[in-house]
Amino acid sequence: MAKMRGAIVVDIERCKGCNLCAVACPLNLVTLSATVNHRGYNYAEQTDWEKCNGCSSCAIVCPDGCITVYRKKEE
Amino acid sequence: MTKEELIIPENKIYGKPTLMNDTPMHYCPGCSHGVVHKLVAEIIEEMGMEEDTIAICPVGCAVFAYRYVDIDWIEASHGRAPACASAIRRLWPNKLVFTYQGDGDMACIGTGETIHALNRGENIAMIFINNAIYGMTGGQMAPTTLMGMKTATCPYGRQADLHGYPLHITDIAATLEGTCYVTRQAVNTVANIRKAKKAIRQAFDNAINKRGCSLVEIVSTCASGWKMTPEQANQWMTDNMFPYYPLGDLKNTVKL
Amino acid sequence: MDNKEKDFVLLKGNEVIAKAAIRYGYDGFFGYPITPQSEVLETLAADKPWETTGMVVLQAESELASINMLYGAGCTGKLVFTSSSSPGVALMQEGISYMSACEIPGVIVSVGRGGPGLGTIQPGQADYHQAVYGGGNGDYRTIVLAPNSVQEMGDCMGKAAKLTFKWRVPVIVLSDGMIGQMMEKVELPPFTPRRTEEEIGQQCPWATNGIGLKHRKYNFMSSLEFDPQTMEDRNQKMADKYRQIEAEEVDYELYKVNEDTEYLIVAYGISSRVSMKAVDLLCEAGVKIGMLRPKTLWPFPNKAISQLSERIKSILCVEQCEGQMINDVRLATEGQATVYHSGRSGGMVSSPTDVVEDFKRMARENLSKNWPKGYWMK
């Protein structure tokens, strides 16, 4: 069965760690990093990309436009 | 499929609009302004109006809006964006002219300009960010601050006898003959963001097609001003702001 | 062109402002009614320039809105003006400061009345400080033109249009209720077409109108800076420009001033018309007196006054207020001549004989030995 596969790329230095992406992810695949970026924010990162279906919720709610979403149907 | 195979340009389905530049935004983490900026950039890009848009930003948190979206901007003095926009729209009949204002700018210091631009039916769109507080100056009472809500200038909560009542400028706008589209939206969830985008798009469309004045209120959070996390702020907004400022169209005379 | 072909008409000063603006190719007017200048908007509304030249005319909700309409329009490279009177111009001060900060062109016609506060609706010149020094915040200057006839009211609209774009500085045409309300024969300028959007694009690459955005960085107009050093740099750049304006744009007129002149009247606007008659009367009586009339109040004719004051006995500064321009005249003399005030205020206007009386008082105080016993001793 065809399955949607997705992955996100976070602009780490632009991220302010607001956590809204983590809240928005219906699969709870986004979390804040343990380390910080140069401005001192814990940035968003994807925990388990293999489960991501590329729904883009995290990116749509991101106020800083830090998240780019890639998606492909896997045959 | 490996991650490297997936993350290639042809699989990109969502990203920061190209009109939004790489300048880091000065907004606090989780601020609704960022989402609305993104929507504005996306819509202008989709409409192909880059060279035909003149945007007016306010005084308040969005005072630096011009740094982030690559279109021509004018930074108006406090509250006067609708006056600025009125003149520009009349002088440039083929341009999309919109204002981007906060509650202090639109509903307090600039109430006169707001009401009159709306009432003249200026062919402009007005985006109104209502977070019920003065964010830029450090969390003071706004005209839209809810009853009982605590701010730096009503630290014991807003009281009618001391501070009067919240101003429903959007409801007032809906009663004016010059307005064609008045709506209240939010950007706290994916579904609401999609609706807000549609609303802004319609407001821009109305402006370009000279249908009258449109006002899109975005009920927003101010996590810093409200002293909450962005997540808590969204929840607080849902619980307290939405009952007082219910989402949806207040007026739409445009039958498409 | 012989006189038959010229557009000679009998008009009020305020009407000429409107008619000249249409003919000089102004793109828009934004204003709010106030006595004694309401004829500007009334004439524009009656003439309907939007049907002929395409000029936009809008009655704003306040002077505050008017000036910010001017600011917005100026930012996009359009040639626009507003018109008001004393308390209305007071409301515009913030906007003028913003326009100056962003180096925005725009023309503000100020038809002065008696003040302060609501004052009176009769002519006054008590807004010299307001126009020349400005009531807005920050380091800025505005070019101030001072017409003294109905003809010059019209001419100033053309001159202001040129200057405001040449220097990107707001230009104030400082008139008064008398010139605004009186009727004189005027020659209207020929029609100049409004600039096309393409021309604006070429002439104003700084403007925020979206033109050519795909081939340039976006433009923005803002007076806000994070960094005080950047703000200082902006201020210094503006100050350099102001110095250049002071060097190049001074304009004044001399009346009956010659090598033998012993006394000088300095007056602008309606006071210069009154003083002209006073000079005539005094000259007839044998007094060696002339008048210097600044046509630009900023930049001020400092050099001319300084040079004249080297060789004259004293100066009578005639203005219809309790003394505002007199300070600039005093500064210009660099201490070489004593300056006396003459004038009325609150809406009262001096007559030529008032000026003559004040001259007599001045001359007595100045203890001139060659005091001609003439006209006023009768």
Band of the pLDDT at C2, cuts 50, 70, 90? Answer: low
What chains are in contact with C, requiring at least 3 Cβ pairs below 8 Å? B
- Count of domains for chain A: 1
The answer to whether residue C370 scores a pLDDT higher than 50 is no
Give the pLDDT confidence score for residue A17 in this predicted structure. 96
Question: Domain residues for A34?
Answer: 3-74
- The single-letter DSSP state of residue C195 is P
B15 in A contact zone (CB under 8 Å): yes
What chains are in contact with B, requiring at least 3 Cβ pairs below 8 Å? A, C
According to CATH, what is the number of the domain B3-252? Answer: 3.40.50.970
Q: Is the peptide bond between C49 and the residue preceding it cis, with omega within 30 degrees of 0?
A: no
Shortest CA distance to B38 belongs to which of B22, B60, B16?
Answer: B16
Q: Which fold would CATH assign to domain C7-197?
A: Rossmann fold (3.40.50)
Give the pLDDT confidence score for residue C59 in this predicted structure. 98
Contact B17 A65 (CB under 8 A): yes
- Pseudo-torsion of CA A55, A60, A65, A70, nearest 10°? 20
Q: With contact defined as beta carbons under 8 Å apart, do C295 and C252 qualify? A: yes
Q: Where are the domains of chain C?
A: 7-197, 253-377
Q: Where are the domains of chain B?
A: 3-252
For residue A20, which residues of chain B lie inside 8 Å, CB to CB?
A: 30, 230-231, 234
Contact C69 B75 (CB under 8 A): no
* Average pLDDT by stretches of 10, chain B with 256 residues: 91 96 94 97 96 96 94 96 98 97 96 98 98 95 97 97 97 98 98 98 98 98 96 97 97 87
Contact C95 B85 (CB under 8 A): no
The neighbouring-strand residues paired with C339 are C315
Q: Among A31, A70, A72, A75, pick the best mutation site for testing chain B contact (most B Cβ within 10 A).
A: A70
Tell me the average pLDDT across C194-211.
96
Give the pLDDT confidence score for residue C86 in this predicted structure. 96
Query: Across chain C, what does the average pLDDT equal?
Result: 94
pTM comes to 0.94
Residues near C91 by beta carbon (within 8 Å), at least 6 away in sequence: C62, C63, C64, C67, C84
Residues near C326 by beta carbon (within 8 Å), at least 6 away in sequence: C317, C319, C339, C341
For residue B32, which residues of chain A lie inside 8 Å, CB to CB?
A: 63
- Pseudo-torsion of CA C272, C274, C276, C282, nearest 10°? -130
Find the CATH number of the domain harbouring A66: 3.30.70.20
Q: Which fold would CATH assign to domain C253-377?
A: Rossmann fold (3.40.50)
Shortest CA distance to B98 belongs to which of B63, B132, B125, B136?
Answer: B125
The predicted-structure confidence for C25-68, as pLDDT tens digits, reads as follows: 999 999 999 999 999 999 999 999 999 999 999 999 999 999 99
CATH fold match for the domains C7-197 and C253-377: yes
Contact C69 B84 (CB under 8 A): yes
What interface predicted TM-score (ipTM) does this complex get? 0.95
For residue B77, which residues of chain C lie inside 8 Å, CB to CB?
A: 68, 71, 94-95, 98
For residue A41, which residues of chain B lie inside 8 Å, CB to CB?
A: 29
Contact B90 C98 (CB under 8 A): no
Please name the residues between 165 and 204 in chain B that touch chain A, using a CB distance below 8 Å. 187-190, 193-194
Burial of B203 (0-12, 13-18, 19+ CB in 10 A): buried
The predicted-structure confidence for A5-55, as pLDDT tens digits, reads as follows: 999 999 999 999 999 999 999 999 999 999 999 999 999 999 988 999 999
The predicted-structure confidence for A52-68, as pLDDT tens digits, reads as follows: 999 999 999 999 999 99
Chains A and C touch (3+ CB pairs under 8 A): no
Checking DSSP bridges between strand B53-57 and strand C220-221, what pairing results, if any? unpaired
Question: Between B12, B38, B231, which is nearest A20 by CB?
Answer: B231
